[in-house]
A = this chain, B = another copy of it.
């Protein structure tokens, strides 16, 4: 299964909007990795750079945190959920959640068989009423799995962003049901710059207990982190990470990426740029006859409806994006820190040219 089977192999000339995972890494990240290579360092996270990352994240979140670097976002999600969900528990999340659809059962694996309960909700956001019902039903009933954790994606898989108020309301529902709240922050930074609030306000101040702090989609190339605000699960997280084969011996090379990512606001600049590029795409495409923007982009993902000939035309020209995963005519465009204004104008210009010309 190659999700990008039509991705030209001369990758350097590509103008792809498939996903933010087709980008490389920020130059600062590569430089940091090269720099950290000098000399020897303690293995398994006992090095100075890892200590620095822990300090930076504590400052970023204005809270004591336990930090567990891992190699993928799926590992971060599964590890975080396993720390708070017993095997007989259920994880409540939106049916569109990445943990539910795109991780081949990683949460079920790490939790030793917990059940993912799917909740409805507009724009891939959990419906609060459905949450309240499912967080409390069958509690104590030995015949049923027990509601044990809630996971929200911020930004969501469709690019929408929970408002502070929405997160707070979910946090309140979790607190009253005594269930921990996890945030899948694969696009944490993109959501944060959209809200313009502090990381603390978007997380623990709103009731979030654990975060999968994504970096790979936004500028690093191989590190994400579980950030926990709950001291009581740190020990379990440590053993579970090692047991999962996720404790890197030469961890400095992961820490160097995360350290540079957090240094001088690189992570926020990258996210702001990716979001801006999505807005620019929306603005440019909106004026083209026949093109319909589904929702104003809240992060770095844009859905729009195009006439089929226009879609085919763009693909024929070598532009890349997903176009056959939703109803006919709907395409998804994803921008990243590496998307350039030229990439955007190229696509917009091409689209309007195609729209203006005679299409078969």
Interface of A toward B, CB cutoff 8 Å = 1-4, 7, 9, 11-14, 16, 19, 21-25, 27, 30, 33-34, 36-44, 46-48, 70-79, 86-88, 101-106, 108-116, 140-146, 216-217, 221-222, 236, 238-250, 252-254, 338
User: Once the chains bind, are B25 and A43 in contact (CB under 8 Å)?
Assistant: no
Contact partners of A7 in chain B: CB under 8 A: 40, 42, 46
CB-based nearest B residue for A118:
B118
Top 5 closest pairs, chain A to chain B, by CB: A75-B245, A12-B39, A108-B113, A112-B112, A71-B71
- Find the B residue at minimum CB distance from A29: B37
Contact of A24 among B14, B38, B145 (CB under 8 A): B38
- Selected from B1, B34, B79, B116, the residue in CB contact (under 8 A) with A141 is B1
- Expressed in whole angstroms, the Cα–Cα distance for A341 and B13 within the complex equals 45
Give the complex CA separation of A115 and B145 in angstroms.
13
Q: How far is the CB of A179 from chain B (nearest CB, A)?
A: 15
Residues in chain B near residue A103, CB distance under 8 A: 143, 242-243, 245
Tally of this chain's copies: 4
Contacts of A30 in B (CB 8 A): 33-34, 37
User: In this complex, which of A27, A38, A86, A104 has the most chain B Cβ atoms within 10 angstroms of its Cβ?
Assistant: A104
Contact A11-B24, Cβ < 8 Å, known A1-B140, A108-B114, A244-B244: no
Q: Tell me if B14 and A74 are in contact (CB < 8 A).
A: no
Minimum Cβ distance to chain B for residue A92 (Å)? 14
Question: Which chain B positions have C-beta within 8 A of A12?
Answer: 38-40
Least Cβ distance of A42 to chain B in Å?
A: 5
- What are 14 A-B pairs with beta-carbon distances under 8 A? A2-B46, A14-B39, A30-B33, A44-B143, A72-B248, A72-B249, A87-B105, A103-B143, A104-B239, A106-B244, A109-B113, A112-B112, A112-B113, A245-B246
